[in-house]
Amino acid sequence: MELPGNTHAEMRRFHRKHGVTELMMRLNTHEVPEYYVKPVSERRIVEADEDLEQIPCINLQAPMSEDLLTAVARACTEWGFFYLINHGVPVSHLQDMQRCTREFFSLPHQEKLKINTPAGNAGPVHFGGGGNRDWREVLRIHFAPISESDKDYWPSKPVGFRSLLEEHENHLQRLSVNILSIISLSLGLNEDFLIEACGEAKSSITVNHAPPSLDPSLTMGHRTHSDPNMLTIILQDDVGGLQVQKGNRWFNVRPMENSFVVNIGDQVQILSNAKYKSCLHRVVNNNHSPRTSTAFFIAPSRNTTIGPAPVLVDENESPVYPNMVYGDYLDDFYEQAHCPDSSYPELRETEN
Ligand SMILES: O=C(O)CCC(=O)C(=O)O
């Protein structure tokens, strides 16, 4: 039986390949292994300000109107996060996704490993432990471009999961284009601006699964980060744990039935010349219930150059950010993510 060694490198290798659940089972311990213990600066030192404020809620049922654009502009300026309701994705689909993703992580370990390809994380699908020593495991699936996606590798278990994933791709592609056009209009840009800025857009999902932690004060389900991409649309279950930073305070993004949680990524902050914020967020662990969320990401292609939209730069001022090739941005982003307290510093400097 393969056992994780106790050096950092061996634990990391085991975690990335097998995930937290399997690692804890093989170690058969009641203490959090050193590998998962976050540096003090990254722990949940600051408790969330519970119910003081909530992220805004955007209702897509109303027809496109100035009020809708104002509400979206406000949400993106103040929070970078909002709930989305009446989004057009059937409730039965949301329920099926929540059930199937949960069931996937309950499959026998060998069954989950079967979906992996030799390309690992870069392959069309991947199961393993989440990055950054987070107490979380992940299932990643690439949707687009077609050259990076291969439905033949999508998980066939639990029964019906593969066709559900196809439905999810269709619903979320449509929804993400709709949200990006509303955000474009809210910035006074034409409605295709943000989607066209992606070039040949990349889209994917990461299903995050955090088992209960032995000590949630030492571990994190997802470390503090902003998203480097254009837009993220999250379907979370009813467990809770997602938190967003506003000013210097943390707020719970409590589960809201039948809603998505939308957050803008760094590229919207850059394109908007810092009018809109890509906010830091994190997921805290608990010690009682597993938590599952499905995050859909839409991002520019690596060779696309992104910079502030010229019409959003005041003629008497310089742009807040230089133009940058997205692939270079991404490489820097992940390099910095390996340093303590990193979040892309050029972006964070503009936060108040
Ligand atoms: O699990 C969540 O609710 C948030 C996921 C997230 O922040 C991410 O995948 O980047």
Q: What are the pLDDT digits (tens) for 7-39?
A: 889 999 999 999 999 999 999 899 999 999 999
Q: Name the closest-CA residue to atom 10, ligand 1.
A: 227
pLDDT category at 334 given cuts 50, 70, 90 is confident
Rounded to whole angstroms, the Cα distance separating 18 from 15 reads 5
Rounded to whole angstroms, the Cα distance separating 39 from 24 reads 20
DSSP for 98-164, written as a single string: HHHHHHHHHS-HHHHHTT--TTGGGSSEEEEE-STT-S-EEEEEEEESGGG--GGGS---STTHHHH
Q: How does pLDDT run across 100-125, given as a tens digit for each residue?
A: 999 999 999 999 999 999 998 889 99
Neighbours of 324 (CB within 10 A): 17
Q: Does the Cβ of 229 fall within 6 Å of ligand 1?
A: no
Kindly state the helix (H) or strand (E) to which residue 182 belongs, with its residue range: helix 161-186
Q: Name the closest-CA residue to atom 5, ligand 1.
A: 295
Main-chain phi, psi angles of 167, to 5 degrees: -60, -40
How much is the average pLDDT of 337-348?
55
Q: Does the Cβ of 227 fall within 6 Å of ligand 1?
A: yes
Q: Does the Cβ of 234 fall within 6 Å of ligand 1?
A: yes
Nearest-atom index, ligand 1, CA of 253: 3
> Which three-class secondary structure state does DSSP give residue 79?
coil
pLDDT given for residue 351 in this prediction: 37
Q: How does pLDDT run across 122-171, given as a tens digit for each residue?
A: 899 999 999 999 999 999 999 999 999 999 999 999 999 999 999 999 99
Nearest-atom index, ligand 1, CA of 221: 1
Q: Does the Cβ of 169 fall within 6 Å of ligand 1?
A: no
CB 189 within 8 A of CB 69: no
Q: Does the Cβ of 168 fall within 6 Å of ligand 1?
A: no
pLDDT given for residue 46 in this prediction: 60
Q: Which of 35-39, 42-46, 63-67, 297-301 has the weakest average pLDDT?
A: 42-46
Rounded to whole angstroms, the Cα distance separating 88 from 210 reads 28
Span from the CA of 316 to the centroid of ligand 1 (angstroms)? 38
End-to-end CA distance of the chain: 52
> Which three-class secondary structure state does DSSP give residue 310?
helix
Q: Name the closest-CA residue to atom 8, ligand 1.
A: 295
Rounded to whole angstroms, the Cα distance separating 235 from 206 reads 11
Q: Name the closest-CA residue to atom 3, ligand 1.
A: 242
Give the global pTM: 0.95
Q: Please, what are the domains in the chain?
A: 55-349 (2.60.120.330)
pLDDT given for residue 340 in this prediction: 47
Q: Name the closest-CA residue to atom 6, ligand 1.
A: 295
Q: Does the Cβ of 295 fall within 6 Å of ligand 1?
A: yes
How much is the average pLDDT of 230-250?
95
Nearest-atom index, ligand 1, CA of 295: 9
Q: Does the Cβ of 205 fall within 6 Å of ligand 1?
A: no
Nearest-atom index, ligand 1, CA of 281: 7
Pocket test for ligand 1, best of 242, 278, 333 (most atoms within 8 A of CB): 242
Q: Name the closest-CA residue to atom 1, ligand 1.
A: 293
Q: Does the Cβ of 235 fall within 6 Å of ligand 1?
A: no
Main-chain phi, psi angles of 76, to 5 degrees: -75, -25
Span from the CA of 61 to the centroid of ligand 1 (angstroms)? 25
